[in-house]
Amino acid sequence: MNTQPEARQSPSMQPPPIGMLAELTHRCPLQCPYCSNPVELSRKREELDTGTWQRVFAEAAELGVLQVHLSGGEPALRQDLEALVASCAEHGLYSNLITAGVNISRARLEALADAGLDHVQLSVQGATAEVNDHIANLPGAFDKKLAFAAEVTDVGLPLTLNSVIHRVNLHQIPDLVELALALGARRLEIAHAQYYGWALQNRGALMPPREQVMEALDLVEAARERLKGKLVIDAVVPDYYARLPKPCMNGWGRQSLNVTPAGKVLPCHAAETIPGLEFWNVGEHALGDIWQHSPAFNAYRGTDWMPDACQGCERREIDWGGCRCQALMLTGDATQMDPVCELSPYHEEIQTLAIIDSSRDDEFTYRRFARQPA
């Protein structure tokens, strides 16, 4: 099985990345069945310490990164979160906290704002307590999220709501729009589940039928038009029902990078699913060196690695070959064209797979977090 082209040095200096996802921890109070984190999570003892993250933020700013998304897991489980936010502010990095909003007190939120936090992105699993708490597998989570959202806007921080959409909450898209308006959010992200990590194990319970997806897309477009200038609505459609692939991460190693809790630097969130790639660690290499020269980043950069059918396609520098991780999962070969593409020989197979999964009635398999030693 071919999993990667021959690793090579980039032919020229790469333009700097715009954004960096800083996965501060994999620890999380929620057990969402669509979680895109790896099946094997980093332990607390493996997490980068405060000083290392502060150095990484300094190197990110020097490299040209503009914004840092502080994520997890749940980043608020880091006791040094205020210091990390302050480090982003010190180096001129726009900081976005991606949180479940169930374990941040008003006092701590104010401390984060005082440290220089720029933005809060709150995940909601549904528009009602019944749906939200069932998906998160945490009773009382919805009420805590509502209270937290009110505190975010009261403190004066801009708020984005994010909801991963699937069969169980797809019918609530109109309610999620109204919830975003009621909470004073400036942006709502409607992102259909992507089947990586733990989500792949729950695909049969998450995959919605095609007709419901199409109806939902119409609802989103209508809401966008109606609320133009009042609420920005971003939507990510489910790949399995698409005709053309998305430019995953706007192209492999082109605009963003991802630092794991243990310090590996990845071109995309799920890149570790591809065997044979060599990921450099911030404990051994400077961030700029990793961006320019690491084998994993250069494996699928540009278009030279593409199969012949993609090389001659007019979209080769629009979708950049689509998703390498998805190509591997659905064809067994990471160098294949993304099977979402209607020209792929595997395209009909994934359409059939989606139909089969959407007809199943599986129960969620929740991620069980074992107690982690300090």
Burial label, 361 (beta-carbon count in 10 A; 0-12, 13-18, 19+): exposed
Dihedral sign for Cα atoms in the order 24, 26, 28, 30:
positive
Contact by Cβ (8 Å): 307, 296: no
Edge-to-edge strand order for the sheet containing 256-259? 232-236, 187-192, 159-165, 119-123, 94-99, 67-71, 19-23, 256-259, 265-266
Torsion from C-alpha of 194, 199, 205, 210, nearest 10 degrees = 10
Q: What amino acid is encoded at 82 in this protein?
A: E
* Annotated binding-site members for [4Fe-4S] cluster: 28, 32, 35
Contact by Cβ (8 Å): 305, 253: no
* Annotated binding-site members: 28, 32, 35
In the DSSP assignment, the letter for residue 38 is -
Q: How far apart are CA 112 and CA 230, in angstroms?
A: 27
Q: How far apart are CA 30 and CA 123, in angstroms?
A: 11
Q: How far apart are CA 255 and CA 63, in angstroms?
A: 12
Q: Which of 110, 86, 85, 115 is nearest to 98 (CA)?
A: 85
In the DSSP assignment, the letter for residue 248 is G
**35 vs 72, 115, 198, 274, CA distance in Å?**
11, 29, 5, 18
